[in-house]
Structure 1
Amino acid sequence: MYQELARTIIKNVGGGENISNFTHCATRLRFNLKNDSKADLQTLKSTKGVIGVVNSNGQLQIIIGSDVSNVYKEILNSNLVVSNDKQEDKKKGLSSIFEIIAGIFTPIMPPLTAAGMLKVVLIIASTFGWLSKESQTYYIFNFAADSIFFIFPVILGYTSAVKFKCNPYMGMLLGGAMIHPSYMALVNAKEAVTFLGLPMKLVTYASSVVPIILVVFVMSYVENFADKVSPKPIRFFLKPLITILVMIPLVFLVLGPLGSITGEGLAVLVNKINTVAPWLIPAIIGATTPLLVMIGMHWAIIPIGFNELALKGFENFIGPGMMVSNIAHGGAILAVALKTKNKDFKQLAGSSGFSALFGITEPAMYGVTLKLKKPLIPIMVAGGLAGLYCGLMGVVRYSTGMPGLASIAIFISDIKPSNVIHALIACGIAFVVGFIGMFVVGFEDIPNENKEKVKKEKKEAKPDLEIGEVMATVKSIADGEVIELSAVKDEAFASESLGKGFAIIPENGKILSPINGTVASIFATNHAIGLESEDGTEILIHIGIDTVRLNGEHFKSLVKEGDSIKIGDVLVEFEKDKVVKKGFDISTPVIITNTFDYKNIIPIKFGKVKAGEDILSLA
């Protein structure tokens, strides 16, 4: 549902290429468009799931209601939005590095997995005597599986160029030059070579990772320079010509050797760590993999594992540790499935636990672990202990593959038969410790009776009441002047599209709770807060009009999601005078978002009020 709505919205705002930036607030999507005339406002207004459309302050606002965050996520995941400039500008530091690495390596995971699993099949076939290593059939399958590593410079030349926003085929051209047979002949001849009168360091770039990424990164700037200096009538051929003339010397004289030294340096560092403390890396990776995956930092270490595999034919940097971490994850989540009394949650934990055993942890991570939080404790302990065992026993993997039971064959070796046995023992340690540890740590179970069921029961009960029978009252959230919603200068609130209620122009900067209940949600910028009363009334307080544009400046929340609150408790403080000085209307709508659960919502008082006075009667 959300995916379809997201696609419809993108199409009718003029397509992804027409979006320069987008975000969302508590109830609406907010788009900055390159060309406003391309947006089909009438179609958007009539789209199912869209409550209303407002074009204000150079921003197209599409009102969705409480489901806005779900639609926003689907737009982000759709890959239909070409640019989101302001958001891109905010990505700095480590997060941007992780994103770049992820963008470079994610597209090549399918062929890497295919090659790794083909290796698994060959290992099994040769181990059980089904296929001789001396046969031509084995020979051909084997070099086909190895080819992915050999042509790394070409493949990574393409994916790196896509990520660095330069011509991907130029990236492939440079990668191809680095593994061309004629260049390889120079390397194999082992004779001194000069280029442009300068001595050239001969390096084998086949199966390398770092050099081509460095090369394409520099090429992105060279290509941009070439674009600027090339006259428009001849830019088509002059731009790529300038790029290749500049890059080839840089590749073979500077960047390639520098990247090679960096890659070899990583290998030396890993070897030194393994020499001094062979247990360290697998233990750390085994313990911290869930955290690394949550923040995206696992992408920072995956290239090191690939580099090790390419240079040595085996690695222990990420493979063993990530495998036992996933097994530990599966064990802990299967314990949750066994222990929970919630039938729906039991099914989710059971299926996602088994998926984790086979290397796919996302359903378990986001469906169970992060929801309960406590499973992280046994998962990390179990992963660390099993990783420690891998390190002490020298467990390595010989190919790529999903880090789980499905790829256990990548640990099989003729040279080291015990390797796979120790890998299986480590998996057993991870599962048992994770499973039992979950029972020891425990967790707060999710009750079978979910919110939807409670709401449904309340909704079914209320129609039996007389219209005049008061179910609840809503108090004033501040000293100030209460006005009708229709007077609010925002179509979504004024039209009561989001629900009935009132608005108040506060005299000071303190927003108080109008009910006894809990804090259901707080928007990141603290300008909007959702509440749920003890009797099920759902309330949205939106401080000011369009104040999301302040990005949280001048707003401070004094509560957090899940907090219990009483009438009169201070929820949010804001610097009223500074907000008004910046030109914002501080009229604050108080909306009953489950309006249809009531027969009638009756205003009690308008005009000057004190905080805590009754304003609405819910019948």
Structure 2
Amino acid sequence: MDFQSLAKQILTHIGGETNVASLVHCATRLRFKLKDRSKADKEAIENIDGVVTVVESGGQFQVVIGNHVPEVYKEIGRMSGVLENAQAGGSRDEKGNLAGRLVDIISSIFTPLLGVMAGAGILKGLLLICTNAGWLTAEETTYTILYAAADSLFYFLPLLLAVTAAKKFGANMFVALTIAGALIYPSIIELKNSGADTEFFAIPVVLMNYTSTVIPIILAVFVMSYLEKFCMRFIHESVKNFITPLICLVIMVPLTLIVFGPLGVYTGNGIAAAILSIFDISPILAGALIAALWQILVIFGIHWGIVPVILNNIAVHGKDYIKPATAAAVFAQTGAAFGVMLKTKNKKLKALAGSAAITGIFGITEPAVYGVTLRLKKPFVCGVISAAAGGAIIGYSHSIAIASGAPGLLTIPIFYGPGFPGFIIGISVSFILSIVLTYIVGFDDPADEKKQHGGEQIYSPLQGEVLLLTEVSDTVFSSEALGKGVAVLPAKGIVTAPAAGVVSTVFPTGHAYGITTESKAEILIHIGVDTVKLEGKHFYPKAVQGQTVKRGDILAEFDLEALKREGFDVKTPIVVTNSDRYGDVIRTGQKRIKPDDWIITLM
């Protein structure tokens, strides 16, 4: 893959670097925050080779690429000033509903930490396995060193969140880090552990344990960003660079300990308790619902609202019941992709489904979902049903997660503990059942269209009346000198792609278009007879040469009535210019046709 070319094309069609307010990336997606959505060409980006799909959710314009997203992200940073000049904290002035803005804030803060969270979580799980198996003991210095490596991220999580939150809210990163450091400063921890009454200038302070917490530092940095901007605006230029941090520290550290800290801890615990109460009522139902809905929540980006709850559960209770159920969703969609690979007769789809399934095994489901199951619809539904079955087993087993990380083959150790056998059974059921259901239920296989008529199908690019080529007044077409085909007397001035492929030709006058299909059939669409004489008048191309198109994509529009008024014959030949490589070219028997109907079968 040419990462430089891919990055350049994305940046161009996104509206250029000046249209980017912020950019972050997760395991598979570039997450753009755009200044003007209308400048971004979603369809053009989806047609770029190397892009799986584009998702708009939570106020973000998300370009799904797959495992190579870090390389593309680096190329965008290298060739532009996006990463340096992007305006962090754009959410304050952005338009959109509150839910979308909250999703954007949470995802921007947590996304940069996902990789290291997964690595630390795996190590934590492996250490637990080693101690239970008797390979290591907690008294050994080897264990102490490795456990420090695994647990430091979670212990010092407020410090890491201070960095990402400061970037998001446009605050001074080092001041934010200092505030976070104060929350877990040894003297503060000792005060809390002593149980002694604590006050700040006679104001009572309810001290909490802030190691591994999430909400308090995010609230603190959010408020600090406003205080910092206020100070920078009104304090004199000569002293503001050190007076501003002084004021922020003096105000924000006590304010956080007195207000934001307890508020954040109690809020997090309350939300976690509410969700966990569902498991107390019916763990089977809770596991099934979470597993069934998880991938749907991911598609819309809503799952980010649950991430802090999962982290809070792990921090406070040392375990979480929600995350194991989400693993069933991951393995179910992976199984659905495998089912598609086994079922399809389309070589391209088989290769795509196979590679997406392998990626899904390791916890990255975007290529499987957006590239395969969701596009084919039925496999996605089979995956949701299978996830519910596996989630029910996991819920019944009271399976837990002891750390955070994308559910996958490599992160299985983070689920080691009570209910671990049930967890393994649950994800296995999700995976295998999804393969079986997808294979049995089936889907609209692209290969099936060819099988129906014994050859490759070409669909009508126009709505109108079907004619024989011999009815076209231009002898070049009527004699089949350019190849066999059919003609249409158009009823509307819209031309669409008759098959998936590449636009091989766009005549400068906009009156004719060539398409090379995925199986190398060469299709020529010539709008009207002698319309080249108009020199482009009344023709409005919508595609460019070299563009990859899907069947039904608009190639051009033209003013049909204007062509008639000027006396032009609007009969439009649709010719297979390399028809000599086929045994026969069979035209449809329909008289009236629309773009959804097949018009030619190539034998």
TM-score normalised by the chain length of structure 2: 0.68
User: Structure 2 counterpart of 1:105, which letter?
Assistant: F
Structure 1 residue 337, shift from structure 2 partner: 1.0
Q: Distance in 1 between matches of 2:124 and 2:153?
A: 12
Question: What amino acid sits opposite 2:539 in the alignment?
Answer: P
Give the equivalent residue in structure 1 for 2:375: 371
Identify the residue that residue 441 of structure 1 maps to in structure 2: 441
The alpha carbon displacement at 1:313 in A equals: 0.9
- For the residue of structure 1 that corresponds to 2:389, the secondary structure is helix
Task: Give the letter aligned to residue 288 of structure 2.
Answer: A
Aligned AA (1:247): M
Judged with a 3 Å threshold, the aligned counterparts in structure 2 of structure 1 residues 18 and 352 are, in CA distance, closer, same or farther, namely closer
Q: Deviations over 1:404-446 (max 9, x none)?
A: 2332222323xx4xx2211111122212321221123210112
Report 1:440-519 matches (<5 A).
Answer: 440-447=440-447, 466=481, 472=487, 475=490, 477=492, 499-501=508-510
1:344 Cα offset (Å) = 2.2
Question: How far apart, in 2, do the equivalents of 1:316 and 1:184 lie?
Answer: 28
Task: Give the 3 Å change call, closer, same or farther, for CA 595–403 of structure 1 in structure 2.
Answer: closer
1:323-370 deviation digits (Å, cap 9, x = unpaired): 111111122221111111112211221232233233221221122112
2:133 equivalent in structure 1: 128
What is the correspondence of 1:240-319 to structure 2 with a 5 Å cutoff?
Answer: 240-317=245-322, 319=323
Counterpart selection for 1:222 from 218, 224, 227:
227
1:392 is the counterpart of 2:391:
no
Query: Quick one: distance in 2 between partners of 1:184 and 1:439?
Result: 57
Aligned CA distance change for structure 1 residues 132 and 163 (closer, same or farther; 3 Å): same
Q: CA deviation at 1:187?
A: 0.8
> Does the residue aligned with 2:306 lie in a helix, a strand or coil?
helix
User: Cα distance 1:351–1:197, how it changes in 2: closer, same or farther (>3 A)?
Assistant: same
- Alignment partner of 1:202: what SS? coil
Letter in 2 for 1:591: P
SS in 2 for 1:130: coil
In structure 2, what is the Cα distance between the partners aligned to 1:136 and 1:179? 25
Tell me the amino acid that sits aligned with residue 445 of structure 2: D
> Is 1:423 aligned to 2:423, yes or no?
yes
CA contact (8 A) 2:125 2:402 kept: no
Match of 2:411 among 401, 407, 414: 407
CA 182–16 in structure 1, closer or farther in 2 if over 3 Å, else same: farther
What letter corresponds to residue 395 of structure 1 in structure 2? Answer: S
CA deviation profile, 1:451-477 (whole Å, cap 9, x unmatched): xx989xxxxx99x96479997577585
> 1:233 is matched by which residue type in structure 2?
S
Indicate how the Cα distance of structure 1 residues 385 and 473 shifts in structure 2: closer, same or farther if over 3 A, else same: closer
Report Cα offsets for 1:165-207 as digits up to 9, x if no partner. Answer: 2122221111111001111111112111110221111111111
> 1:553-568 to 2 correspondence within 5 Å?
none
Partner of 2:539: helix, strand, or coil? Answer: strand
1:320 lines up with 2:292 in the alignment: no
Q: Which segments of 5 or more consecutive residues in structure 1 lack a partner in the other structure? A: 23-32, 35-59, 456-460, 479-495, 504-519, 521-533, 540-586, 597-602
Structure 1 residue aligned with 2:345 = 341
Quick check: 1:2–1:70 contact (8 Å CA) kept in 2?
A: no
* 1:401 shift after superposition: 3.2
In structure 1, what is the equivalent of residue 590 of structure 2?
none
Tell me how far 1:19 sits from its aligned partner.
4.4
Q: Between Structure 1 and Structure 2, how many residues are aligned?
A: 474
> Judging changes above 3 Å, is the alpha-carbon distance between structure 1 residues 19 and 360 closer, same or farther for their aligned structure 2 residues?
closer
How far the C-alpha of 1:8 sits from its partner, in A, is 5.0
**Cα distance, 1:270–1:468 mapped onto 2, change above 3 Å:** closer
Q: Does the CA contact (< 8 Å) of 1:285 and 1:322 recur in 2?
A: yes
RMSD: 4.4
Given residue 614 of structure 1, which amino acid in structure 2 is its aligned partner? Answer: D
Say if 1:594 and 1:91 are closer, same or farther in 2 by CA, change over 3 A. Answer: closer
Once the two structures are superposed, residues 274-318 of structure 1 have per-residue CA deviations (whole angstroms, 9 ceiling, x without a partner) of: 22222343221210122111111111111111110111111111x
- Kindly state the Cα deviation for residue 141 of structure 1 after the two structures are TM-superposed: 1.4
| Contact 1:314 1:399 survives alignment (8 Å) | yes
Conserved 8 A contact 2:329-2:430: yes
Aligned residue for 1:259, secondary structure, equals: helix
Q: Is there any run of 5+ residues in structure 2 with no aligned partner, and where? A: 23-33, 55-60, 64-72, 451-455, 459-475, 494-504, 528-536, 547-557, 576-603
Question: CA separation in 1, counterparts of 2:432 and 2:562?
Answer: 66
Partner SS for 2:94 = helix
CA–CA distance in structure 1, aligned partners of residues 538 and 208 of structure 2: 67
Query: Is it true that 1:614 corresponds to 2:553 in the alignment?
Result: no
Distance of 2:325 and 2:141 partners within structure 1: 35
Verify the 8 A CA contact 1:501 1:592 in the aligned structure 2: no
Distance between the aligned counterparts of 1:471 and 1:255, measured in 2? 72
The residue number in structure 2 matching 1:525 is none
* Residue identity in the other structure for 2:424: L
Cα separation, partners in 2 of 1:12 and 1:384, compared to 1, 3 Å: closer
Correspondence list, 1:502-581, <5 A: 537=525
1:66-77 equivalences under 5 Å are 67=44, 70=47
Question: Under a length normalisation based on structure 1, what TM-score does the superposition of the two structures give?
Answer: 0.66
